[in-house]
Amino acid sequence: MISFARSVKEEIVYNEFDRCCQKALLAALIKINGSLSISRKGVGITLPSENAKIASKSHKILKNLYQPDIELLVSKKVKLKKNNVYVLKINKAKEILEDLCIDIIDVNKIPEKKLLEKQCCKRAYLAGAFLACGSVNHPNTANYHLEIGLDDQNHTRFICDLMNQFQLNAKIIKRRNKYVAYLKSAEKIGDFLRIVGSYQSLLFFESTRIDRDFTNNINRLENCLVANEMKTLQASNAQIDDIVTIQMYGDLTVLDEKIQVIASLRLENPEASLNELVDLYIDKTNLSISKSNVNHQLKKIKAHAQHLRNMYEREDGA
């Protein structure tokens, strides 16, 4: 089954980008995943990817912008899942690097301002960074999380700042040898998907999140209802115990008529809530009574029952 992160990336790949945005996206891919080499043939770029569609997109953009000589190699990873690795080798790439404002000496150097002057190019750079090393949890999980992890701290800080230009509230943590710009808010993750042009994934993310939150809310509501029912039942059992105590040690008729009616209703309706006892009292007597008054009468019953218990305990002790 394809992961949610991969579906986001493959949707980004299918998008069409303007020429300026193609440069921004390609620059992010090369800065993060690319490596440079210098030989007698000049400066070369090696650009690997485990995703064939990302490799194909990179190849298409390179051909469209620069028509370079590109060699495609396919190898197997040695570790873990042993996936294919698709490698683009671009020879005589000095002009490409210069046009993309990539420093030959320091590939990770943050991009020059002229590369990302437009908002669309900033979005494309974030899209390229996510294609290169981004991940996002499936919205079914309890933990909403999107991240872009890089080796270079300055470049990570640049990407974090770029994300925050879109009010994403991104933050940075260090995880082992990586610096990670991340989002934890479901709302901000949705905004990021919109920013990078992954609209179908955004719809799926929001729909799944809403369904999941709705289910969780229903479960919480059901838990509250069960808890309230248990609380009502416990209170009712205690009230019935008080009434039975009065019947054992004394006589309910010594109490006023209102208390006698409420005691009788409680014995007949052990699962009734206070609100339901109010309705039952009104139906039986045609007299109005408030919930607080019913509760007050039940407290009188409790006090009288406790008085009888204490009295007979003293007599037994004597």
DSSP three-state, residue 106? coil
Task: Return the structure tokens found at 133.
Answer: 């090393």
CATH 3.30.70.260 describes domain 4-197: no
In whole angstroms, how far apart are CA 207 and each of 60, 134, 197?
33, 22, 17
26, 61 contact by CB (below 8 A): yes
Angle at 284 between CA 279 and CA 287, to 5 degrees: 75
Long-range pairs for 80-87: beta carbons < 8 A, 24 or more residues apart: 83/50, 84/50, 84/52, 85/48, 85/49, 85/50, 86/48, 86/49, 86/50, 86/51, 86/52, 86/55, 87/46, 87/47, 87/48, 87/49, 87/55
Task: Return the structure tokens found at 78.
Answer: 């040695």
Q: What is the pLDDT of residues 70-106, one digit of tens each?
A: 888 888 766 656 678 899 998 878 888 889 988 887 7
pTM: 0.69
List where CATH 3.10.28.10 sits in the chain: 4-197
CA-based end-to-end distance of the chain: 79
Amino acid at 170: A
Pairing mode, strands 70-76 and 84-90: antiparallel
- What's the CA gap between 251 and 308, in Å, rounded? 11
- What's the CA gap between 297 and 132, in Å, rounded? 71
Lowest mean pLDDT among 121-135, 140-154, 254-268: 254-268
> Residue 284: what pLDDT?
86
Round the average pLDDT of the chain to a whole number and report it.
Answer: 86
> Residue 188: what pLDDT?
93
Task: Return the structure tokens found at 189.
Answer: 């993750």
246, 305 contact by CB (below 8 A): yes
